[in-house]
Structure 1
C-alpha cells in the first residue's frame, strides 16, 4: 500500500491507515530507505532494526515529551501535563537514575509478587474457563494486566464496579499518552484525583509497594506531583503492555494451538518461549517518538541522505524492526527458533522498559493457564475488532471459544 504521488511514495499517514496489516509497507519502506523522510508529515520514519538501535543509543535524540510534544487541543492538557512531568519521559542523568532505581525495585517486586500475580491470573482464568467462551482481550488479558499493575503500585480496589470503571479510565489514558485522545476528560480527571489520594495516603503510611518506593526517593521524585506522574505512567504502560501481549499475541497463534498444547505436555518452559515470539510479533507500542536535540547526520553510518535537523521528529517503528528480515529469518512466521536475536519490543539498552520482568511474569502465567484449554479458536460468530488507535494497534476485542470439559 503506497501513495500514488511519485514525489512522496510513502507517508506516516499511510502507515496509520494500514495499521492492521502494515508489513508490506514496512518491507517497501525498508527496501527504499530504512531511515525515510516523510515530507508530508515532516518527520522521519525508521523501519530497520540496526537503525532503530542506533537512534535509541544516540545522545543527539531525546524523548523529552515536556519539551517537544505539542499540547492537546481536545481538553486533555491536564492529563498530558501530568504525564509529561514523569522523570521517565526525560533524558540524561535524571532519567538514568530514575530508570536504575525503578529497575532495582521492579526486580525486587517481581520476586516478591510472582505468586500473587499467578494467583490473579489463575482466579480470572477459573472464573472464565467453565463458560466455553470469552473475549480474550476484554474478559481475560485486560483485567489481569490492570489488576497486576495495581498490585505492583500498591493500590487495592476491592469493589468490582469501581475496578471496572477505573479499568476503563486506564484504557483511555493509554490512548491519550500515545497521542490518540478519546473518552471523557472528566472521568480521567477523577482517576488522577484518586491516584493523588493514593499517593497522599502512602506518604502518611508507606508500605512495600512501588508508590512508596517513589516517595522514598526524593532526590529522584522531588515532590508528590513527580510521584503522581510516574504512578500514572506505570499504570498506563503496565496495563497496555500485557493486555496486548496476552490478547493479541495469543490470537495470532491460535492456528497452531493443538501443536503447541501437545508440546506443552512435555515442555513446561514452552510458555516462556511463546511469550518472546509473541512479544516480537505484537509489540504493545507500534512506534515511539524521538526528537533531534541538535543536527545529526547519519549518512555515513547508514548510506543515504540522512541529515536530521534539530527539532525534527523521528518515529522509530519497533514493530517494523522486529520484522526486519536482515535479522529475523521469515519474520512474518511464528517461529520459536527466532532467538538469539533480541526483539526491540521493550526498547534497547538504557531505554529498555523497566517493567519488562513483570510483563513476562503475567504473560507466562496467562499462557500456562490458557494452554490447558482444548480447541481454543476464534469465535466465528463474533469477529475480532481492531483497536482504532494506530499507535497501539492490536485487538480491542477478540472473542474465542474452547472446550470447557477437557
Structure 2
C-alpha cells in the first residue's frame, strides 16, 4: 500500500551557514538549523500536526530536513502540514530558503528512487529588495535591526544574525547546552575529553612551525553520489539516508583519529555541518591530505561491507578542498569548495571518487583549471608524493619554475636534465608520464604535506 511523504528542507544549507563571515555566526547557524529541523521538536511545537503527520523514521535525521509521513492521502491535510512546517521554520530561520516536496510510494526509499514528486513549492526569504538603513555588520546583506555590545565594540545585527549570535555558544564554555550542536555530536561520538577549536586562529595554530603553514586552515567539502539516481528500486524499507549518514560519520571519525596526536586537548578540526551526504569541515592545511587519505577509504569500506548496500549501487564520495589563510571569509572559500567539488564530480561523471582542490594563497579565489585528482591516484602515488615533499623547499621551488617554463614552450629536457643533475630524477619521474598527477600539480599539492 502506497504512502504519502512530505520533506521540507533548507535549500543551499552551506550558503546559508556561511552567510556570515565569522565562525561565531556559522556556529550559531549550525545550532539553529539543528534545533529548528529536529522532527521531534517540530511535532511537539506545532499544535495539531500529530493529527495529520508522523516523523518519517526511514529518512533518518538530517540537519536541515523535516521528513514526515502523512497519515492520510488527502491534498488538504498535506498542504496544511506543509504550511505549518514552513511557517515554523521561517520563524526560526528567517534568511533561509525552503523547499517542500510531496512524494508517494510503497516506501520512502522507493518514492525517492522513482522521483515520484506529487508537488513541490519554494519558500523564499521575505526581504526587501532595497533595504534602507545600516547594513548588518555580520552578513552585510540585511538591514541591522538591533545594536549589540561585544567584548570590543558595538555592532548592528539583522534578525537572522541576532538569532545566530544567541545560539552560537563557545567551545570553551562550561555552561550546559552552550557547545555548538554539530561539534557536540562529534565529541560524544569520539568519547573524548578534548574540545574543538574555538576559532580559526586556534585551529590554524595547531599546524607545525613554519611560515608556509601557520595561519592556514583547509576547508573541505564532500558529497556522495546519491542512491536515488539509480534506476533499480532499493530494498523495501531500506533506510538509505540513515545508512549514508552513518557511513559519513564513521569515515569522519576515522579521519579525525588519523590526524589527532595522542593526548591532544584540542582536536585539529572544526565541523561546520554534517548532514547526510553533505559535509563541510576545516582542518589545518598541513593535515588535509592525511585527513582525506583516511576519510575516503573509511567511507568506501563502510559502504562496501554493509550487506544491504551490496544489493544496490553503492555511493561514492568526492571532495572539494580549499587551502586558505584564516582571515579569508568563510563564505568565499565554502563557495569555491562547492565549485571544485562540482567540477570533480563532472570530470568523473559520478563513477569514481575524486578531489578538486586549490590554494587560495597561491592560486587566488577564482577556480583554476587544474584537473581533479582521482582518489585512486592519491592512494597509488602516496609514497611518491611523500618523497617529493621531502625535497628541500628550494629544490621544489626550482622545479616549479621549470614546470612553468615548460608550459610556456621551453624544451622539456631542461627540467629532466636538472633533476638528473641533482640526483632526484627518480623522485620526479612518477609525475612526468602521460596521465596521473602532473609534476606541477604534485609540487603544489606537497606544499601542505607532513
Report if TM-score (shorter chain) is over 0.5.
Answer: no
Query: Could you tell me the TM-score, scaled by structure 1's length?
Result: 0.26
Larger radius of gyration: 2
Higher strand share: 2
Query: Could you tell me the TM-score, scaled by structure 2's length?
Result: 0.24
Higher relative contact order (CA 8 A, sep 6+): 1
Higher helix share: 1
